[in-house]
Amino acid sequence: MKARILATLGPSSLSEEIVKQCASAGVTLFRINLSHTLIEDVAPTIQKIQQWTDTPICLDSEGAQMRNHRMVAEDVQFRQGEHVKIHFEPVVGDSLNISFSPNGIARQFRPLDQVSVDFDHVLMQVVDVKSDHCVAEVLHGGQVGSNKAADLSKDLTFDALTPKDREAIKIGRNMGISNFALSFANRESDVAEMRAECGGDANIICKIESRQAIGNLEPITRSADQILIDRGDLSRRISIEKIPFLQRRIIATARWLDTPVFVATNLLESMITKKSPTRAEVNDVVSTLLMGANGLVLAAETAIGNHPVGAVQMIQKIIREADKWTPNSTLSEIIRS
């Protein structure tokens, strides 16, 4: 079966012309990322896409993850050695104040816990806990904007779905959406909760992006309609040099259980700014397909990149070449146009 292409829509691609071109280039599922979509924009966004194309839409939940709230600017500088207040309730952040969603999640923080923001752009360590905030020392400084992914050096207790997720799912179902992705599926019960919310006829894609998901891989994979390996978020909790081997094992498990598997993150990262991918990126995509991936996910490449249609066209070219190749392919067959 030919690999499917899931493309994330965002500022670079959410127009009639681009959506139609991406659909013509081979996109089989358009993704709306709820982590970057206001709830009041969900229905209008779905309506626009449905007017422009018949290609199905997938609502991707916020799920069990931590993000910082709005910052006073998109380049707030945190300096090494400074003490920062981590507020339990939402505040507009600055260089000395920050807060995280889900609201109140920081109440689980304890002294010596380390908090990384935006893939280690900033690293802080909790030094004290007060009644309405924690105090943390900045270990590694850097810039942070609004709504960036954050992580703690220990497991936190989350609900599988946020209130916003539940509201968005209801909107989606009322508008005919049947594809839903569960971010940070940590256990089989999370999948059951998602399915109950979306309906028994929904197609549920469970995203594997945490240590807990790896520990519960088989039951999650059995319960899901598809799984998706998010290599980016997975690498926040597991050393990056281990990710290629995890990817191979997860794909093998999914194939064994006859569950289709998507792979996401950095497939054509250079095409966010450039018209062509690197040779390493092309090699990574081909290797992923030859491992047995059933689908590929474009995220930043199509959501905020300069060449969203070009990225889809390039993925489609790579898929066609992978479909033609066999271990017995001759050199002349490989280079023949």
What tokens were used for 36?
């970057």
Give me the residue spans of the domains in the chain.
4-65+158-335, 66-152
The owner of tokens 């959410």 is: 14
Q: Is 275 helix (H, G, I), strand (E, B) or coil?
A: coil
Read out DSSP for 145-210? -SS-EEEESS-----SS-HHHHHHHHHHHHTT--EEEETT--SHHHHHHHHHHH-TTSEEEEEE-S
For 228, the 3-state DSSP assignment is: strand
Task: Report the DSSP pairing between strands 29-33 and 4-8.
Answer: parallel
Class of domain 66-152: mainly beta
Kindly report, residue by residue over 242-271, the tens digit of the pLDDT: 999 999 999 999 999 999 999 999 999 999
Contact 59, 168 (CB under 8 A): yes
Name the token pair of 259.
């569950």
Q: What is the rounded CA–CA span in Å between residue 73 and residue 138?
A: 19
- Residue 305 pLDDT > 80, yes or no? yes
Q: In 10 A of CB 164, how many CB atoms?
A: 18
Average pLDDT over residues 316-336: 86
Tracing tokens 């992923």 back to the chain, one arrives at 288
Contact 171, 194 (CB under 8 A): no
Mean pLDDT, all residues of the chain: 94
Question: Model's pTM, two decimal places?
Answer: 0.88
In this predicted structure, what is the pLDDT of residue 87?
97
Token pair for residue 150?
């954050």
CA–CA separation, 44 vs 46, rounded Å? 6
Strands 261-264 and 226-230: parallel
Average pLDDT over residues 22-30: 97
Question: In this predicted model, what pLDDT tens digit does every residue of 124-150 receive, in sequence order?
Answer: 999 999 999 999 999 999 999 999 989
Please give the helix or strand (H or E) that residue 74 lies within, else none. none
User: Which residues neighbour 235 within 8 Å (Cβ) at sequence distance 6 or greater?
Assistant: 243
300 has pLDDT over 90: yes
Pairing between β-strand 203-208 and β-strand 179-182 as defined by DSSP bridges: parallel
User: Is 257 buried (19+), middle (13-18) or exposed (0-12) by CB count in 10 A?
Assistant: middle
CA separation for the pair 57, 49 (Å, rounded): 8
pLDDT per position as a tens digit, 53-82: 999 999 999 988 899 999 999 999 999 999
| Least-confidence region, from 9-23, 105-119, 272-286 | 105-119
Q: Is 123 left (phi over 0), alpha (psi -120 to 50) or beta?
A: beta
Task: Specify the pLDDT at position 1.
Answer: 58
Which CATH number describes the domain made up of 4-65+158-335? 3.20.20.60
Percentage of the residues of the chain whose pLDDT score is greater than 70: 99
pLDDT digits (tens, 9 = 90+) for 158-176: 889 999 999 999 999 999 9
Amino acid identity, position 275: K
Q: What is the reported pLDDT for 190?
A: 95
What's the length of the chain? 337
Name the band, by pLDDT with cuts 50, 70 and 90, for residue 206: very high
Q: What pLDDT does 327 receive?
A: 83
